[in-house]
């Protein structure tokens, strides 16, 4: 019993530290005190080569980030992360489908990632199109349909002011819920206390990330 408790305490600590590391990394990036992974001057050839050699034999990312494909939203820059540190999945509107779920399961079950951040962002074009019920091609419509539950939830709640931005937050929350509903592997890891999922929103104007409390 003691061993079980200690093991669980260690896992909780790992999960908390992992999330806090993202919060701190983003704060440093916004304040201009990043580690220099992505500075304007770039990384020295020696440093880059050393890192490539380090990750050549395998990867051990400590977290997974599901974010939007928007070219202004680059997780490595946002969280000041280097090679092999975070496993990134990007789709328009940060939507979930079987391929995305399979990628999440792979990173968690086979690579050992302990944390998933589902991150929407300010002024998301995909969410804007979904809110406006835009008519698009079959494939784009399929993507927008994945965002519909968040739109409908906001409409049902009677939200009118700042509808797009509120739906962006709700959409990330919906995707978080879908991960455990549609993946028995991830649901099992969460239940055992070995994996944590959080939603977040990235702000384009100043680069900061707001995590759901």
Which tokens belong to 156?
């049902």
Burial class of residue 84 in the structure, from the number of CB atoms within 10 Å of its CB (0-12 exposed, 13-18 middle, 19+ buried) = middle
Report the distance separating Cα 17 and Cα 19, nearest Å.
6
Q: Nearest to residue 201, comparing CAs of 35, 26, 37?
A: 26
Rounded average pLDDT over 176-198: 97
Per-residue pLDDT reduced to its tens digit, 57-75: 899 999 999 999 999 999 9
Q: Is the pLDDT of residue 23 over 50?
A: yes
pLDDT tier, 12 (very low <50, low <70, confident <90, very high otherwise): very low
Q: Nearest to residue 65, comparing CAs of 146, 172, 178?
A: 172
pLDDT tier, 5 (very low <50, low <70, confident <90, very high otherwise): very low
pLDDT tier, 34 (very low <50, low <70, confident <90, very high otherwise): low
String of DSSP letters for 108-160? HHTS---EEEEEEETT-HHHHHHHTT----HHHHHHHHHHHHHHHHHHHTT--
Q: Nearest to residue 78, comparing CAs of 41, 29, 42?
A: 29
Which CATH fold would you assign to the domain 2-211? Beta-carbonic Anhydrase; Chain A (3.40.1050)
202: β partners: 121, 209
pLDDT tier, 112 (very low <50, low <70, confident <90, very high otherwise): very high
Residue 163 φ/ψ region, left for φ over 0, alpha for ψ in the -120 to 50 degree band, beta for the rest: alpha
């Amino acid at each position: 019993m003691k061993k079980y408790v200690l093991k669980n305490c260690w896992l909780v600590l790992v999960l908390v530290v992992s999330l806090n590391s993202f919060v701190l990394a983003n704060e440093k990036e916004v304040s201009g005190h990043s580690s220099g992974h992505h500075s304007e001057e770039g990384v020295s050839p020696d440093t880059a080569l050393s890192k490539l050699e380090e990750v050549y034999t395998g990867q051990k990312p400590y977290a997974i980030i599901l974010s939007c494909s928007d070219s202004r939203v680059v997780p490595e820059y946002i969280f000041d992360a280097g090679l092999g540190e975070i496993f990134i999945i990007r789709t328009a509107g940060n939507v979930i489908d079987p391929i995305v779920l399979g990628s999440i399961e792979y990173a968690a079950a086979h690579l050992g990632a302990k944390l998933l951040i589902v991150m929407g962002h300010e002024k998301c074009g995909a969410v804007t199109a979904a809110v406006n019920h835009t008519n698009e091609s079959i494939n784009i419509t399929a993507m927008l349909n994945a965002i519909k539950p968040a739109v409908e939830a906001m409409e049902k709640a009677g939200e009118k002011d700042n509808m797009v931005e509120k739906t962006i937050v709700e959409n990330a929350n919906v995707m978080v819920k879908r991960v455990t509903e549609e993946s028995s592997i991830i649901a099992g890891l969460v239940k055992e206390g070995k994996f944590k999922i959080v939603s977040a929103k990235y702000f384009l104007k100043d680069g900061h990330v707001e995590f759901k409390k």
